[in-house]
Amino acid sequence: MIKEDARILAKNIRKKLDIKTISNLIVKDIISSGIIGDYKIIGLYYPLRYEIDLLELRNYYNDKIFCFPKTTDVIEFYKDNGKFVKAKFNIMEPISNEHLIPELIFVPCLGLNYNNARLGYGKGFYDRYAKVHSSRLVGVCYKKCVFDFAESSNDIKFATIFKE
């Protein structure tokens, strides 16, 4: 399957899922996995439409510094101060000027293929970020959105994925 067909399929599947329940299960899985461990600066994303919501992690890990992406031509992360504004692509971005480089980043996936390559929205922001920074990337995806699609050499391949 080509990526555009996989994107359409994933968007349609996600609309039918119990996102709140799945998000809660994935947050519990992340906490019990210990993956956050000794990492101090954690990159999250503010969930769009039908994305898995990991915001609860901020309440569980009081000793961590969380940051969120802002996108211009590239993606950069800024410290979470609890204040957000709707920006490019209707993404909620932090109202913060404190630029950080996260050690661990949870990356939203529209889908995955069977090689754990990420299917995103097609702009390549996370793919380009991964080529420049050595942050550990962790994929977050719905189990029902794993398909056989053709990947490109730019696609992120995850060693660690949380999916329900």
- 3-class SS of residue 104: strand
pLDDT band at 64 (very low <50, low <70, confident <90, very high): very high
Question: What pLDDT is attached to residue 90?
Answer: 87
Q: What is the pTM of this model?
A: 0.95
161, burial (CB in 10 Å: exposed 0-12, middle 13-18, buried 19+): middle
pLDDT digits (tens, 9 = 90+) for 9-56: 999 999 999 999 999 999 999 999 999 999 999 999 999 889 999 999
Rounded to 5 degrees, what are φ and ψ at 105? Answer: -130, 130
- 3-class SS of residue 106: strand
pLDDT digits (tens, 9 = 90+) for 75-134: 999 999 999 999 987 899 999 999 999 999 999 999 999 999 999 988 899 999 999 999
Q: Given strand 160-163, what is the order of strands in its sheet? A: 99-100, 75-79, 65-71, 41-43, 104-108, 136-141, 160-163
Question: What pLDDT is attached to residue 153?
Answer: 87
Q: Which residue has the higher pLDDT, 24 or 164?
A: 24
Question: What pLDDT is attached to residue 92?
Answer: 95
pLDDT digits (tens, 9 = 90+) for 128-157: 999 999 999 999 999 999 999 999 888 888
Question: What pLDDT is attached to residue 135?
Answer: 94
The span from the CA of 113 to the CA of 117, in Å, is 5
